[in-house]
Structure 1
Amino acid sequence: MTHVYVAAGSNVEPERYLTVALRALATAYGPLTLSPAYRNKAVGFEGADFINLVVGFSTEDSVAAVRQQLQKIEAACDRPPDAPKWAPRTMDLDILLFGDLVCQQPGLVIPRPDLVKRPYMLKPMADIAPDVRHPTLDKTMRELWESFPGGEHAMVEVPLGGAPTSPHSDRHRSPESGR
């Protein structure tokens, strides 16, 4: 089994679409580990605030199969396949880490370079997997977060329906469970 971490974000009806995406991920991959959800300003364009979180799960699927499943879930969340990169979106699902895999192919780079550049990816990742080591930087997520330059991009933890929002809560519950 490979442990996978995926960034999930939305700034168009985010509570609705994140709930849809989390339910679909739980159906596809079983129990999920959920970070707290964070509200933050849009990056790269003017738009409504995003709500972002990180989801962890284990799978025997290949990285290509997981990527295809994520694209299906984005489509189920009304995201067109040709959606522009720097624009509002109903759902954005990005593979951050896929076990210790390091790959660079057109449209798929793992570990995702934005993981160590974007606080809305790194902070939730450090929340749920502080001791996971970055496959190329050989530092833990905790170490990377603790050395991240602060104050540049404000994030506020927000509740997300029945999904857990605290690093101390039981994050192994499915969004379907309501706990």
Structure 2
Amino acid sequence: MARIFISVGSNVDREQHIRAGVKALYQAFDELEISSVFESEPVGFNGHAFYNFVVAASTELEVLAVVAILKQIERDNGRLAGDKKFAPRTLDLDLLLYDDLITEVGVQLPRGEIPHNAFVLWPLAELAPDRIHPELEQSYEKLWQAYDKSSQKLWKIPFIWNS
């Protein structure tokens, strides 16, 4: 079984899309661990604030099968193939880690944005503080402690999943 970590984000009908995304992730991976939900300003463009969090799961699926499931869940939630990188998102699901795999074949793992985006690093450090980044060889907690927290604005929000 591989341990996977998935970044989840939305800034279009946020509550609806992250609930739908988590429901679909439960159907695909059964048991999930979910970080706190964070609200953050968009990075790279002007727009509505995002809800972001990280989900951990276990799977016997191969990496590219996991990525295919994530892309299908995005499409099922109104995400269009070829959407611009810095633009509003109904649902954004990115595979961050697949065990300690390092690859660029089909998908970049570990995902390059992990140490650079607070909306990925903080929830990842919350879920897996002692896990070691396979390339940087530091724990996610230490990476978060060293992160320049003035570079991106985000904050934890209370989120009720079953409303």
TM-score by length of 2: 0.97
- Specify the alignment match of 2:67 in structure 1: 67
Structure 1 residue matching 2:138: 3-state secondary structure: coil
- Specify the alignment match of 1:85 in structure 2: 85
Q: Deviations over 1:46-81 (max 9, x none)?
A: 110011000000000000000000001001111111
C-alpha contact 1:19 1:161 (8 A) present in aligned 2: no
Supply the AA of the counterpart residue of 2:110.
Answer: P
- Specify the alignment match of 1:134 in structure 2: 133
- Specify the alignment match of 1:144 in structure 2: 143
Task: Report 1:43-122 matches (<5 A).
Answer: 43-105=43-105, 108-122=107-121
Distance 1:49 1:159 in 2: 15
Distance 1:63 1:119 in 2: 24
- Specify the alignment match of 2:122 in structure 1: 123
Q: Percent identity?
A: 34
Supply the AA of the counterpart residue of 2:145.
Answer: E
Is it true that 1:16 corresponds to 2:16 in the alignment?
yes
Supply the AA of the counterpart residue of 1:18.
Answer: I
Computed over aligned residues only, the root mean square deviation of the Cα atoms, in angstroms, reads 1.2
TM-score by length of 1: 0.88
Distance 1:38 1:120 in 2: 7
Provide the aligned length of Structure 1 versus Structure 2: 163
Consecutive unaligned residues of structure 2, counting only runs of 5 or more, are none
- Specify the alignment match of 2:4 in structure 1: 4
Where in structure 1 do 4 or more consecutive aligned residues deviate above 4 Å? none
Q: Deviations over 1:68-115 (max 9, x none)?
A: 000010011111112111110101111111101000135x21000100
